[in-house]
Structure 1
Amino acid sequence: MPLSGRIIVVTGAGRGLGRAFAEAAAGAGAEAVVIAEINREWGEASAAALVEAGHEACFLPLDLGDPASIEALAGEVGARYGRVDGLVNNGAIATGIGGKTFEEIDIETWDRVMSVNVRGTWLAVKAFAPWLRKSSGGRVVNLASDTALWGAPRLLSYVSSKGAIISMTRSLAREMGGDGITVNAVAPGLVRVEATEYVPEERHRLYETGRAIPRPQYADDVIGAVLYLLGSGAGFVTGQTLPVNGGFVFN
């Protein structure tokens, strides 16, 4: 049980990849899993499913666009458990995949994506840092995207935000390494989950035919990398970005 006795927080864990990561962490023996989610219905359902399966889990509300909400989450988790061993920064928003060009994106959309995906991730690490330092081996796993590695067109706000996550991961790794905390990123390809149902089918086909392993990507394809980076076996791995995309792009 690679996560035995560990307190794991997963943002955006109400559905899709986030929920899969939370379920995987619980199955890997985590002492408790915190479902941090903006949608109460999804978050409560995700936590309830884990509890029903015999795991320790709770739902706590989180709006990554609201600094006060992030602070409140970290404070509540710290008060409950006294430490955090792993933080998975999965929560993010994407708009208009394969849609607007860089000239067509409006400023409001750009600012919203940056405030949630980039500022929200930074503030989450900042808020949880005191509790990660109380762990015997704190882990931060940031969700990037392979779109930032191949420069996906007509998606500039999202691609830019995920490129920032990769750079942020490297800088945070250097700043937090002295406290024994590792910071890494996982960069999935386009995954077949609820959150990507709106993506045009031609975009899915682009990925599925262009991969070295030419098939759809599912949440189960990503959880192994996240569990590895959360576990003790990755204690000397930090500042890295691990593409998990079936070979659509190589790093």
Structure 2
Amino acid sequence: MTDNVQLLAGRKVFVTGAARGLGLAFATAIAEAGAQVAMADILTDVLEESVAALQARGLSVHGFTLDMADPASIDTCASAAIAKLGGLDGLVNNAAITNSGGRSSEQLDIALWDRVMDVNVRGTWLMTNACLPALRASGNGAVVNLASDTPLWGAPNLLAYVASKGAIIGMTRSLAREEGKHNITVNAVAPGLTKVEATEYVPEQRYQHYHDGRALQRLQVPEDVTGAVLFALSGLSRFITGQVIAVNGGFVMN
């Protein structure tokens, strides 16, 4: 267990893209901080293993199948997760795909562009909408959108993904203004290049570029990002909304 065991005590939190990588790290830290957690992912087999491992530790987690490209799946998953938790206090919109890595703008095709936008942007929008009634009912709702530091510095050869995460930042600010009257905070966490399964495709040259440009010159791991997510979900940040928290060791400073 972590030192944050009581930080989210009694909270009910839904994490998308939670089967592995950053999403699993978030779900684990949130559960360790005392919350009940619904974990959703399209990788059903991996998700089942992750949920079972956390349940074996005595953590309150539940798994749900989710396809962020399918609006019906989003609605079904959100409804099931909220019903299982008995309400909702926090949503972590983590599920996303990259798909455009290593390609220049001219090498992207329309189908790939649309796939990235459907999952990363439309999916995040629809999932948030599906959860808003429960978050409003909470009275202290919090939405944490996973952005990226790539649109903060203009990462090349990753255009569809970078554009989608730039859209997430804009969405975060707009939703923060719309939902403030319901006492819902909406913030974005923008990690730098983090060593997880989803970044295995990244060439060593890009890792070195990040390493050399960081004020804290070491490899970024999932545990480096969990603190910002816990903070954004907790009572410590109730007057912080519409913000982008860059978590990248000082590679980008804003």
> Normalising by the residue count of structure 2, what TM-score does the alignment of the two structures yield?
0.96
Shift in Å, 1:198: 1.6
Question: Deviation above 3 Å: which 4+ runs of structure 1?
Answer: none
Unaligned runs of 5+ in 1: none
The question of 1:123 aligning with 2:133 is answered: no
Match of 1:207 among 206, 210, 217: 210
The question of 1:85 aligning with 2:96 is answered: no
Match of 1:17 among 22, 26, 37: 22
Aligned length: 249
Asked whether the equivalents of residues 100 and 159 of structure 2 are also in contact (C-alpha less than 8 Å), the reply is no
Aligned-partner Cα distance in 1 for 2:247–2:140: 24
Asked whether the equivalents of residues 26 and 55 of structure 1 are also in contact (C-alpha less than 8 Å), the reply is yes
Shift in Å, 1:79: 2.2
Q: Which deviates further from its counterpart, 215-224 or 71-80?
A: 71-80
Aligned-partner Cα distance in 1 for 2:110–2:181: 38
Alignment match, 1:29: 34
Match of 2:99 among 82, 95, 98: 95
Shift in Å, 1:78: 2.5
Percent identity reads 58
The question of 1:140 aligning with 2:143 is answered: yes
Shift in Å, 1:214: 1.0
**Cα offsets for 1:9-60 (capped at 9, x unmatched):** 1000000000000000011011x11110001011111111110000111110
Please tell me the residue identity of whatever aligns with 1:177: G
Asked whether the equivalents of residues 82 and 131 of structure 1 are also in contact (C-alpha less than 8 Å), the reply is no
Alignment match, 1:7: 12
Shift in Å, 1:122: 0.3
Aligned-partner Cα distance in 1 for 2:225–2:47: 20
**Cα offsets for 1:66-104 (capped at 9, x unmatched):** 00001001111232233111100000000242x111111
Shift in Å, 1:234: 0.4
Shift in Å, 1:201: 1.1
> Normalising by the residue count of structure 1, what TM-score does the alignment of the two structures yield?
0.97
Asked whether the equivalents of residues 26 and 33 of structure 1 are also in contact (C-alpha less than 8 Å), the reply is yes
Please tell me the residue identity of whatever aligns with 1:78: I
Asked whether the equivalents of residues 186 and 244 of structure 1 are also in contact (C-alpha less than 8 Å), the reply is yes
**SS of structure 2 residue aligned to 1:58:** strand
Asked whether the equivalents of residues 146 and 245 of structure 1 are also in contact (C-alpha less than 8 Å), the reply is yes
Aligned-partner Cα distance in 2 for 1:198–1:156: 16
The question of 1:50 aligning with 2:54 is answered: yes
Asked whether the equivalents of residues 96 and 119 of structure 2 are also in contact (C-alpha less than 8 Å), the reply is yes
Aligned-partner Cα distance in 1 for 2:81–2:133: 11
Alignment match, 1:190: 193
What is the root-mean-square deviation in Å for CA atoms of aligned residues?
0.8
Alignment match, 2:3: none
Aligned-partner Cα distance in 1 for 2:82–2:192: 33
Aligned-partner Cα distance in 2 for 1:80–1:154: 41
The question of 1:64 aligning with 2:68 is answered: yes
Aligned-partner Cα distance in 2 for 1:148–1:214: 21
